[in-house]
Amino acid sequence: MRVAVTASVGRLAGLEARLRDAGHDAVRTPLVRTAPTADASEAERLLGLPWRLYPSRSAVDAWIALGLGFADGARIGAVGPGTATDLGRAGADVALVARPATATGLARGLLRHPDGPRPGDAVGVVQGDRARSTLREILEDAGIEVRTATVYTSEGVTWSLDGPVDAVVLASPSAVAALPLDVGSEALLVAIGPTTAAAAVRRGWSVVQAAEPTVEGVLGAMARCGCGGGR
């Protein structure tokens, strides 16, 4: 099988090697480009809040690119293990890792946390310009004041692969939006999470969802489709 991995370089690290070990032809073709915002002032307003949440690895990258750190005393929440790893490498002490690794999991995990916010408390959310409202809405419904900071922008990248592909690993709803109609209609689509899977379904495509947004999760999803072995 020829498998296209749409995650940005550095994401799902090692997936291509694992796919090749299984006998597949794996190629990385990112479909989204992100860039940090030029002004850090919006993000700086989140410093000093009791909690700050990172719903994506791109949010971590942009926070660091803006020259912002983690020494302000805020408790840090991460949407999943990959985001938590990036935060830890940057010097953050991660107090919460969402299970499952979704915006809903992050919000509910925060509300269950023994040191979580109470109604009326403020929480900071570091996000991109295409962020969905799920995290904010769940917290606000619980009486939490949510202060957001948009720290990066995203844009789709034109599909550049020549020839057919048998499977596509979709790493975000933005990647789904950038995928050509003929590719999405003909290839096996593997989404790394429920939000990405839902975006594919909205385009009328069948999709297999990974149990978690990791290399093992993607491989497990492919194995369920009978694609875990060789060609």
Q: Are 175 and 6 contacting, i.e. CB atoms less than 8 angstroms apart? A: yes
Q: Percent of the chain scored above 90 by pLDDT?
A: 84
pLDDT value of residue 229:
46
Q: What is the mean pLDDT of residues 27-54?
A: 95
Short-list 202, 130, 136, 163, CA closest to 3:
163
pLDDT for 198 beyond 60: yes
Give residue 169's pLDDT band: very low, low, confident or very high (50, 70, 90). very high
3-state SS, one letter per residue, for the chain? CEEEECCCCCCCCCHHHHHHHCCCEEEECCCEEEEECCCCHHHHCCCCCCEEEECCHHHHHHHHHCCCCCCCCCEEEECCHHHHHHHHHCCCCEEEECCCCCHHHHHHHHHHCCCCCCCCCEEEEEEECCCCCHHHHHHHHCCCEEEEEEEEEEEECCCCCCCCCCEEEECCHHHHHHCCHHHHHHCEEEECCHHHHHHHHHCCCCCEECCCCCHHHHHHHHHHCCCCCCC
Domains of the chain as residue ranges with CATH: 2-31+157-224 (3.40.50.10090), 36-153 (3.40.50.10090)
What pLDDT, in 10s, does the model give residues 147-157? Answer: 999 999 999 89
pLDDT value of residue 213:
87
pLDDT for 212 beyond 50: yes
Read off the pTM.
0.86
